[in-house]
């Protein structure tokens, strides 16, 4: 028993020694979304750390974002001022298992100067429904910010905004609005309210001055 304790102590001491003052790679082993904190198993020793803060994606004044990592995620761990007791998970790392997401618009990962976010990619190494990690759920929400366009969607619904045009598609139907023009394709317009133009009701108006036969027609059937 004494030999076992001694061996564990040596492994811990070795792991601590190697963290000074160098950043390390680790695997997320526990997540606290409330405090935006994680526990990480250092690699290759596989020794679990205590709770440490997880890098904030964006925070400036009143603007904040939150995106806690998934269990099993590959991260970079940095000791603050070389102190192994004060660590921060300072970066996410894509690897052979958890790769960069693919854009539904381009069919490629985000290119330089772009920002792509896809939800529903699943935690590594596999998802509960058998998809490999990083393989996005086809119904998951996403957005892709490019230099000249913004695209977003979820499932079979998508929105695209470009200079002078806004397009919305749902399944086989599309709605496109551009300067002075509105186009609707593959869909019917339904409403349970009357349409009134220049004081004339669409559903209740009568046609006056019709030539031939009676001078006035009845309400439309």
**Within a domain: 174:** no
189 in a domain, yes or no? no
* Within-domain flag for 34: yes
Average pLDDT over every residue of 200-221: 59
Grouping H, G, I as helix, E, B as strand and the rest as coil, residue 100 is: coil
* Residue 20 domain flag: yes
Per-residue tokens: 42: 């250092």
CA atoms of 221 and 218, how far apart (whole Å): 8
Place of tokens 């939800």: 119
Instruction: Name the least confident of 18-27, 59-68, 88-97, 99-108.
Output: 18-27
**Residue at 89 is within a domain:** yes
Per DSSP, the residues of 103-145 read -TTTSSPPPTT-EEEES----SSB-TTSPBTT---TTSEEEEE
Q: In which domain, by residue range, is 76 found?
A: 1-93
CB 144 within 8 A of CB 153: no
Considering the domain boundaries, does residue 39 fall inside one? Answer: yes
Tell me which residue of 78, 85, 75, 77 sits closest to 28, measured CA to CA. 75
Contacts of residue 6, defined as CB under 8 A and 6 or more positions apart, other chains included, come to none
Overall number of domains in the chain? 1
150 found inside a domain: no
Distance CA 185, CA 175 (A): 7
CATH of the domain at 65: 2.40.50.230
Q: Report the C-alpha gap between 37 and 22 in whole angstroms.
A: 21
Which tens digit of pLDDT belongs to each residue from 108-159? 999 999 999 988 776 665 555 555 555 667 788 999 999 999 999 998 999 9
- Compute and round to an integer the Cα radius of gyration of the chain: 29
> Would the pTM count as exceeding 0.75?
no
């Amino acid at each position: 028993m004494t030999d076992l304790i001694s061996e564990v102590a040596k492994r811990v001491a070795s792991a601590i020694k190697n963290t000074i003052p160098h950043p390390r790679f680790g695997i997320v082993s526990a997540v606290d979304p409330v405090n935006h904190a994680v526990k990480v198993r250092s690699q290759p020793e596989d020794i679990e750390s205590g709770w440490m803060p997880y890098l904030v994606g964006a925070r400036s004044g009143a603007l904040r974002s939150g995106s806690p990592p998934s269990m099993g995620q590959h991260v970079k761990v940095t000791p603050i001022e070389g102190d192994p007791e004060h660590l921060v998970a300072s970066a996410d790392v894509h690897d052979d298992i958890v790769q960069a997401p693919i854009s539904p618009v381009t069919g490629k990962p985000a290119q330089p100067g772009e920002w792509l976010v896809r939800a529903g990619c699943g935690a590594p190494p596999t998802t509960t429904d058998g998809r490999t990690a990083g393989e996005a759920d086809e119904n998951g929400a996403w957005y892709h910010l490019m230099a000249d366009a913004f695209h977003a969607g979820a499932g079979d619904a998508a929105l695209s905004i470009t200079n002078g045009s806004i397009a919305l598609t749902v399944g086989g139907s599309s709605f496109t609005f551009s300067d002075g023009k509105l186009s609707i394709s593959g869909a019917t317009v339904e409403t349970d309210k009357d349409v009134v133009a220049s004081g004339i009701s669409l559903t209740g108006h009568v046609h006056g001055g019709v030539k031939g036969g009676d001078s006035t027609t009845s309400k439309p059937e």
